[in-house]
């Protein structure tokens, strides 16, 4: 009898400079995957961006968003709590620990601890620890560059300083998982501008050296070059009257796409298959998500 092989879970981390469009992109990507697979979209931290944006309440436990798409918000503390409960097996012990002033203070600052717990949670389905995470794809709308690298470095740092005990063991399997190209993908969202592009390039390198994987780069908010060049042609066509003001405007647009092209070429040296996502001229966020989604098809 033919046995249907269950497909391995995939985890996609979305990162990039602050404000470049990570959350919009992650949502569009999640919607795209949910057309055929079961998807969990995850936000990290204490505050949900999507909850205002989509008018749903977003919590630690997944909430259904649309067909095949759930959404959740993971804070370090909640992830740590779940891990502790998993190991301690008793709510009372857990309370003793987490409601103690000293342990609270430690958890707050001991940086690697909550970061480890977050990565532990993200990879828990694959590593088969803790509650079930039955999704085909987990998309993490992760932190911006600096914090994201701190997140990814946590297990290695922990592994270097602590070699024995339950946490050390967990750490080793987390490390293995985040370095496995069959399981984890890294997506860097950036813009065709100097600072975000340079940051994306550095982030790409940092990811290669930290997890040994090539991240995919997505260049967001790309102005319509072809359309603008067509306008330029129009302004140069004999018989078409174009005012000076219009000429100036076209020139402004032209230099804008020229500059943009410089950074696109720069980024392509890192990822020759880099995807371009168009600038959407809409102030309606949902419409932006839809348009961004179309470009991902």
Residue ranges binding Mg ion (CB under 5 A): 22-23, 49
User: Pattern 148-177, binding to another protein, x per CB under 8 A?
Assistant: --x------x---xxxxxxxx---------
**Which stretch in 31-39, 60-68, 101-109, 131-139 sits in contact with another protein by CB under 8 A?**
101-109
* 292 touching ligand ATP, by CB under 6 A: yes
Q: Please, which residue, 88 or 195, has the CB nearer to ligand ATP? A: 195
The total number of residues written for the chain in this structure: 297
Identified binder of another protein from the candidate list 13, 25, 33, 143, rule CB under 8 A: 143
Q: Could you tell me where the beta strands, DSSP code E, fall in the chain? A: 10-16, 39-44, 63-66, 69-74, 137-141, 184-190, 216-222, 275-278
In the complex with ligand ATP, which residue's Cβ is closer, 133 or 253? 253
Give the binding-site size for ligand ATP (rule: CB under 6 A): 17
Q: Do β-strands 63-66 and 10-16 pair in parallel, antiparallel, or remain unpaired? A: unpaired
Q: Which is nearer to another protein, 136 or 210 (CB)?
A: 210
Strands 10-16 and 137-141, sheet pairing: parallel
With binding defined as CB under 8 A, does residue 255 bind another protein?
yes
Q: How far is the CB of 237 from ligand ATP (least distance, A)?
A: 30
Residue in 22, 32, 204, 270 binding ligand ATP, rule: CB under 6 A:
22
Is residue 228 at the binding interface for another protein, with CB under 8 A as the rule?
yes
Q: Write phi, then psi, for 79 (nearest 5 degrees).
A: -65, -40
Q: Please say which residue, 116 or 280, places its beta carbon nearer to ligand ATP.
A: 280
The residue to which tokens 């780069």 are assigned: 217
Please state the φ and ψ torsions of residue 74, each to the nearest 5 degrees: -110, 120
With binding defined as CB under 6 A, does residue 20 bind ligand ATP? yes
Helices (H), 70-193: 76-88, 91-98, 101-109, 111-122, 124-127, 145-161, 166-178
Q: With CB under 8 A as the contact rule, which of the stretches 125-133, 251-259, 269-277, 289-297 interacts with another protein?
A: 251-259
Binds another protein by CB under 8 A, chosen from 38, 81, 127, 147? 147
Question: What is the closest distance, in whole angstroms, from the C-beta atom of residue 271 to ligand ATP in the complex?
Answer: 18
How far does CA 149 lie from the centroid of its chain? 12
Residue 221 interacts with ligand ATP (CB under 6 A): yes or no? yes
Q: How far apart are CA 66 and CA 286, in angstroms?
A: 14
The angle that helices 91-98 and 101-109 make with each other, rounded to 10 degrees, is 70
Residue showing the smallest CB distance to Mg ion in the complex: 23
Smallest separation, CB 111 to another protein (Å): 4
DSSP annotation of 165 reads S
- Which listed option, another protein, Mg ion, ligand ATP, none, makes contact with residue 277 (CB within 5 to 8 Å by class)? ligand ATP
**Between the CA atoms of 41, 43, 49 and 55, what dihedral angle is there, to the nearest 10 degrees?**
40
Of 256 and 276, nearer to another protein (C-beta) is 256
Whole-angstrom distance, CA of residue 25 vs CA of residue 59:
20
> Can residue 285 be called a binding residue for ligand ATP (CB under 6 A)?
yes
């Amino acid at each position: 009898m033919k046995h249907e092989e269950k497909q391995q879970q995939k985890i996609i981390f979305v990162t990039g400079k602050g404000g470049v469009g990570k959350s919009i992109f992650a949502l569009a990507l999640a919607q795209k995957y949910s057309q055929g697979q079961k998807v969990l979209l995850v936000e990290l931290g204490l505050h949900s961006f999507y909850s205002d944006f989509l008018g749903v309440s977003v919590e630690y436990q997944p909430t259904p968003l649309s067909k095949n798409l759930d959404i959740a918000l993971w804070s370090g503390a909640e992830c740590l709590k779940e891990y502790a409960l998993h190991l301690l097996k008793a709510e009372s012990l857990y309370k003793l620990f987490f409601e103690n002033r000293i342990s609270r203070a430690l958890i707050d600052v001991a940086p690697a601890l909550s970061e480890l717990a977050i990565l532990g949670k993200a990879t828990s389905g694959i590593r088969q620890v803790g509650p079930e995470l039955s999704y085909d794809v987990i998309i993490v709308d992760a932190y911006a560059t600096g914090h994201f690298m701190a997140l990814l470095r946590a297990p290695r740092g922990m592994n270097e300083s602590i070699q024995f005990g339950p946490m050390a063991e967990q750490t080793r399997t987390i490390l293995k998982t985040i370095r496995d190209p069959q399981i984890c993908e890294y997506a860097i969202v950036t813009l065709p501008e100097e600072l975000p592009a340079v940051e994306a390039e550095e982030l790409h390198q940092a990811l290669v050296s930290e997890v040994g994987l090539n991240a995919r780069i997505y260049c967001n908010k790309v102005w319509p070059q072809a359309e603008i060049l067509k306008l330029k042609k129009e302004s140069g066509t004999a018989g078409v009257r174009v005012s000076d003001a219009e000429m100036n405007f076209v020139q402004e647009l032209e230099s804008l796409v020229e500059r943009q092209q410089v950074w696109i070429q720069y980024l392509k040296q890192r990822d020759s298959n880099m995807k371009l996502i168009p600038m959407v001229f809409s102030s309606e966020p949902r419409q932006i998500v839809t348009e961004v989604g179309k470009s991902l098809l």
